[in-house]
Structure 1
Amino acid sequence: MTDASPSAPPGRLDRALDWIERTGNRLPEPFILFAWLTLVVAVLSSAMAAFGVTVTIPGEAESTPVRGAFTGAGLEFFFTGLAENFIGFPPLRTVVTIMLAVGLAERTGMLAALIRLAFSRAPRWLLPYALGFIGVSGSVMADSAFIIIPPLAAIVFRAAGRHPVAGLIGGFAAAGAGYSTSLLVTSLDALFAGITNSVAATLPMAATTVTPISNYFFNIASAIVLSLLAGVIIDRVVEPGLVRSQFPDTEVDADDGKAATGPARQEQGTDPMAEPVSATVTPAERRGLRAAGITLLLLTVAVLVLVLVPGSPLRNDTGGYLPESPLLDSVVTLVFLAFFVPALAYGIGAGSIRRGADVPMLMGRALKDLSGFIVLAFILGQFIALFAWTNIGAWLAVSGAQLLEAIGLTGYPAILGFVVLASLLNLFIVSGSSLWTLMASVFVPLFLLLGYEPGFVQGAFRVGDAATQVMTPLNPYMIVLLTFVRRYQPSAGLGTVIAKMVPFVVPFWLAWVAILTVFYAFDIPLGPGVDVRVGP
């Protein structure tokens, strides 16, 4: 499978990762784990509310109390919001919607054919680095990257004779640990800029207005370095480790544990993904790919016309697209159409869709694979909603800021302390916009008073916001990754995926801090017109 020898003796890293995996797998099943965590938050918040704990967020006139779950208001929140917390859970909407289209593209055979055509002559050694680049830049698809890139990477690696789980792990890690950066301007840039400006505007001090391109130079440097680093880790650490541990490289049937190849997975109708991946593209597949390509081109033209026409409903009130617009809120829809429409054309052209009933049947198989995640989304939604409602997240952020002030950190050590705090809080609040909203309200004014541009502080936050989110069980997309990994090893637990993420976290964090340090030390603008410090 790879150049690494399975009989090679395990090194210290392997032993350390094995310990992390064993320890992590002692955690309860995710549903039980989050049920316990929800109970802990409920008890803790009730105790803090009983003692009258409050948090004062800079810029707000009144303090915000920590609300208790076991109070009248808390019980009302639980009883009236149970269904809404589940159905309104953002990853559930994103995952289910996109997987309907991606599942159709997979089950018709379009993805496998496209990847075989594109990578059949690509050198094997290049794949980890290409995956690193695609993953790190994947935030252009927002949260969709977490459910699109890993399974596609697994197919690519399998087709090239490499370990498919290395593609799964590497794709998720690169997309998650490098989530805040990209070579392209993304909706996240616009979202962060809007939050930063709204906070900076509360102070009378003059500061450069933050725009979606204010961190662009910093993002370019970060994306290039982290892409290369991700490729090295996938190629030299993750994949050899999988081979040494003899981690399964063949999908198994979740119902009976048998290898998911050949007729064992055949159901009524056609499932091209049930067959082993071949490097050969058949004439029927080529017809399907031509039909898909033409359809995608027509779809792209139609969307561009809709977006660019004067008075487009996808523009904002000022006729533009930034910082907010219906277009930026349409990422899930655009991704859905980009997969669904070409997949439909491919299936008809290649013959894998012969009747209308085949379409919902193939889409239904994708949701069958997600049934475990949908069940888990119920308790995940309750936990995250309760965590936000109790205001414990706000209390954690403000308390951390006060700790930095109390120990007297100033200058660049204060910036590093801020990055460390963001990394730690990111273990509990994995939503970048939520965490930046809380931290910006505290730290943008604090560092502006110390002479740092809000755009620089925002760039520093991006470092801490990404790397650690791929190793916390509170990241709901970890459950999606676990669902994919269990296709190969049904006994895998959270500890399995956490252990596989650890080799990415520390190198990514250190490399990103080093890039930030270079920008700081040489006073390099982070983007057009955005310096490190305020003033000349």
Structure 2
Amino acid sequence: MTSRSTDYNGSPSGNEAQEPKKGAFTRFLDTVEWLGNLLPHPITLFAIFCGVILVASGIAGYFEVSVADPRPEGAPGRAADGMIQVISLLNAEGLSRIVSSLVTNFTGFAPLGTVLVALLGVGIAEHSGLLSATMRALVMNASKRMVTVTIVFAGIVSNTASELGYVVLIPLAAMIFHSLGRHPLAGLAAAFAGVSGGYSANLLLGTVDPLLSGITQTAARIIDPDYVVGPEVNWYFMFVSTFVISALGAFVTEKIVEPKLGKYHKDDAAVDLDAADMGKVTAAEKRALKGAGLAALVVSALLALTIVPENGILRHPVTGAVSGSPFLQGIVVFIFVFFAIPGYVYGRMMGTMKSDRDVIDAMSKSMGSMGMYIVLVFFAAQFVAFFSWTNFGTVIAVQGATFLQSVGLTGPVLMLCFILLCGFINLMIGSASAQWAVTAPIFVPMLMLVGYAPEAIQAAYRIGDSTTNIITPMMSYFGLIMAVAARYQKNMGIGTLMAMMLPYSIVFMVGWSALFYLWVFVFGLPVGPGAATFYSGL
């Protein structure tokens, strides 16, 4: 049986009797998929890493591996003899430390509590129906001229609510494009690009911000034990990135992907598209949305009173500044409040939340969906702790920084290489938290020693991590996207979807990296409130 090569319209191309030759890029994607499939589950991966750290620390400790401490005399955490040695955990003392700290490693892992608290509020807004209705209202009310950019924009914003964009927006976008006489796969691609390719960008702080910042803070403390990285440290850059990615996504859709797809033929569909439910916003939902919007304005006004006036009660008690204030330190609490109250108001007006039990059920469901994440955190927390105890992070960082300086790889070129490396690793480790938990203890200290602040390093990581999400089968929702696409294209294959999304990945990588270069190296702007660009603590 011979395979058939299809173009974007699903039409056979070339000689059907011959096996089509694969291009270099297709072979590359096949290799990436094969390598990714060889990797175990991220949880298993962290368990293996823990074992590797134990054995490696024993070997390095036996050979007394060490490096000169780059911190000045008197600096917190500096070794008394000026040398940083790898500490072995493969002995009685190490085993005692592991056993006595196993629970506290888990419960004290910075991202755990912050993510769960934020998700409680988001869960109320999601299960009340507020987030779904908001997304549908935003997309369905867009003009034909603005529908593409609105879909990409809605996809980016939907990341606040975890999987909502994948489950609701992507199928809806395909339906909308079809109803407008446009290719439904172009709508799917635009939404997928926003939801997954623009994963880290957003107008509001979401659950990804405390998740990444907690890991970054832990990694930064390998060099500076008192360093603090809050969830808000990338907000300025990601806020602006939302509009840049929206514009780039609309450009790629209308100028590259849609022309390539060509005219859509109804016979290519696997379902009766005329029977598709467009999920329009009802009059009751519109009234509830207005009520939720009013509640959000009231909440915003009350929060503003605590921070905008010079004598605001949540400003820094000593300096009176916003930087380092209780407001920023407790930003996760305000994420919870900002989503919980409008979500409850919407639920009351729609009848989806009639009592406190409904609110509790919504929060319980949101916690229930985090079971896999909590298990992942347990093993990731042990790996991060072991890595820190052994001093491997500091030793690798010092050696790596020395190498970078010796070859003259600094400045914008270094950060661009870091972004590209993160994008490549993301092809095989699709989870943002899993990848950052592995790479942050190495790259954050290393780049700090070269002179970059953890806040800027994290922003660069988020670019690389996001832009290749849409071309890797390792992304957890890739199968779901394939299933939706197959409704409109019977012959849809993984290679077709990857090829369709590749222009977004390339343009996002180039455009987003250019924005980072201008932001950091040309204009010298902070990537977030009180965030430093360069590190000068040594």
- TM-score tier by shorter-chain length is 0.5 to 0.7
Partner letter of residue 171 of structure 1?
V
- Whether 1:110 and 2:130 are equivalent positions in the alignment is yes
Whether the aligned pair in 2 keeps the contact of 1:288 and 1:346 (CA below 8 Å) is: yes
- Whether 1:300 and 2:306 are equivalent positions in the alignment is no
Deviation at 1:320, TM superposition (A): 3.2
2:463 equivalent in structure 1: 467
Whether the aligned pair in 1 keeps the contact of 2:130 and 2:346 (CA below 8 Å) is: yes
How many angstroms apart in 1 are the aligned matches of 2:510 and 2:340?
39
1:151 equivalent in structure 2: 164
How many angstroms apart in 1 are the aligned matches of 2:189 and 2:336?
25
Deviation at 1:36, TM superposition (A): 0.9
2:431 equivalent in structure 1: none
Normalization by structure 2: what TM-score? 0.65
Partner of residue 65 from structure 1, selected from 72, 77, 85: 85
Normalization by structure 1: what TM-score? 0.65
How many angstroms apart in 2 are the aligned matches of 1:348 and 1:219?
33
Question: Residues 161-182 of structure 1, C-alpha deviation per residue, up to 9 Å, x if partnerless?
Answer: 2676874664243234x69xx9
1:5 equivalent in structure 2: 9
Structure 1 residues 192-341: aligned runs within 5 Å: 227-231=246-250, 278-309=278-309, 311-341=311-341
Question: Residues 455-503 of structure 1, C-alpha deviation per residue, up to 9 Å, x if partnerless?
Answer: xx99985775333334899xxxx9x973x6676789xxxxx9xx89987
Whether the aligned pair in 2 keeps the contact of 1:150 and 1:167 (CA below 8 Å) is: no
Deviation at 1:360, TM superposition (A): 1.3
Structure 1 residues 119-518: aligned runs within 5 Å: 119-122=139-142, 129-130=149-150, 148=161, 151-152=164-165, 154-160=167-173, 161=175, 167=191, 170-176=194-200, 227-231=246-250, 278-309=278-309, 311-407=311-407, 409=408, 415-417=412-414, 419-420=416-417, 424=421, 438-439=445-446, 441-444=448-451, 464-470=460-466, 482=476, 508-511=508-511
Deviation at 1:374, TM superposition (A): 2.0
Deviation at 1:309, TM superposition (A): 4.9
How many angstroms apart in 2 are the aligned matches of 1:26 and 1:96?
31
1:35 equivalent in structure 2: 47
Question: Residues 419-470 of structure 1, C-alpha deviation per residue, up to 9 Å, x if partnerless?
Answer: 43576589675699977862455223xxxxxxxxx8xx99985775333334
How many angstroms apart in 1 are the aligned matches of 2:277 and 2:63?
61
Partner letter of residue 123 of structure 2?
G
Work out the number of aligned pairs and report it: 445
Deviation at 1:342, TM superposition (A): 0.7
How many angstroms apart in 1 are the aligned matches of 2:392 and 2:56?
9
Whether the aligned pair in 1 keeps the contact of 2:139 and 2:154 (CA below 8 Å) is: no
Whether the aligned pair in 2 keeps the contact of 1:218 and 1:526 (CA below 8 Å) is: no
For the structure 1 residues 356 and 526, does the alpha-carbon distance in structure 2 shift closer, same or farther, using more than 3 Å as the test? closer
Deviation at 1:345, TM superposition (A): 0.8
How many angstroms apart in 1 are the aligned matches of 2:397 and 2:415?
11
Give the gaps of 5 or more residues in structure 2. Answer: 1-6, 14-19, 74-81, 176-183, 224-232, 426-434, 484-493, 527-531
For the structure 1 residues 33 and 360, does the alpha-carbon distance in structure 2 shift closer, same or farther, using more than 3 Å as the test? same
Deviation at 1:33, TM superposition (A): 1.6
Question: Residues 91-148 of structure 1, C-alpha deviation per residue, up to 9 Å, x if partnerless?
Answer: 3323322222222222221112222222213257856645666788x7xxxxxx9653
How many angstroms apart in 2 are the aligned matches of 1:28 and 1:485?
17
Q: Could you tell me the percent identity over the aligned residues?
A: 25
Partner of residue 90 from structure 1, selected from 99, 110, 114: 110
Deviation at 1:35, TM superposition (A): 1.0
Partner letter of residue 280 of structure 1?
K
For the structure 1 residues 232 and 374, does the alpha-carbon distance in structure 2 shift closer, same or farther, using more than 3 Å as the test? farther
Whether the aligned pair in 2 keeps the contact of 1:158 and 1:277 (CA below 8 Å) is: no
Partner of 1:357: helix, strand, or coil? Answer: helix
How many angstroms apart in 2 are the aligned matches of 1:215 and 1:288?
32
Whether the aligned pair in 1 keeps the contact of 2:138 and 2:154 (CA below 8 Å) is: no
Partner of 1:323: helix, strand, or coil? Answer: coil
Whether the aligned pair in 1 keeps the contact of 2:60 and 2:88 (CA below 8 Å) is: yes
Partner of 1:55: helix, strand, or coil? Answer: strand
For the structure 1 residues 524 and 486, does the alpha-carbon distance in structure 2 shift closer, same or farther, using more than 3 Å as the test? closer
Deviation at 1:284, TM superposition (A): 2.6
Partner letter of residue 37 of structure 1?
F
How many angstroms apart in 2 are the aligned matches of 1:406 and 1:343?
55
Deviation at 1:316, TM superposition (A): 1.2
How many angstroms apart in 1 are the aligned matches of 2:312 and 2:270?
48
Partner of 2:352: helix, strand, or coil? Answer: coil
Partner letter of residue 354 of structure 2?
R
Partner of 2:356: helix, strand, or coil? Answer: coil
Deviation at 1:328, TM superposition (A): 1.4
Whether the aligned pair in 1 keeps the contact of 2:155 and 2:192 (CA below 8 Å) is: no
For the structure 1 residues 433 and 135, does the alpha-carbon distance in structure 2 shift closer, same or farther, using more than 3 Å as the test? farther
How many angstroms apart in 2 are the aligned matches of 1:219 and 1:418?
17
Deviation at 1:343, TM superposition (A): 0.8
Give the gaps of 5 or more residues in structure 1. Answer: 139-144, 200-213, 251-275, 445-453, 491-495
Deviation at 1:66, TM superposition (A): 2.1
Partner of residue 77 from structure 1, selected from 97, 100, 108: 97
Whether the aligned pair in 2 keeps the contact of 1:53 and 1:66 (CA below 8 Å) is: yes
Partner letter of residue 159 of structure 1?
L
Deviation at 1:340, TM superposition (A): 0.7
Moved more, 150-159 or 95-104: 150-159
Moved more, 342-351 or 365-374: 365-374
Deviation at 1:394, TM superposition (A): 2.2
How many angstroms apart in 2 are the aligned matches of 1:378 and 1:458?
24
Moved more, 116-125 or 146-155: 146-155
How many angstroms apart in 1 are the aligned matches of 2:367 and 2:43?
19
Whether the aligned pair in 1 keeps the contact of 2:448 and 2:454 (CA below 8 Å) is: no
Deviation at 1:350, TM superposition (A): 0.9
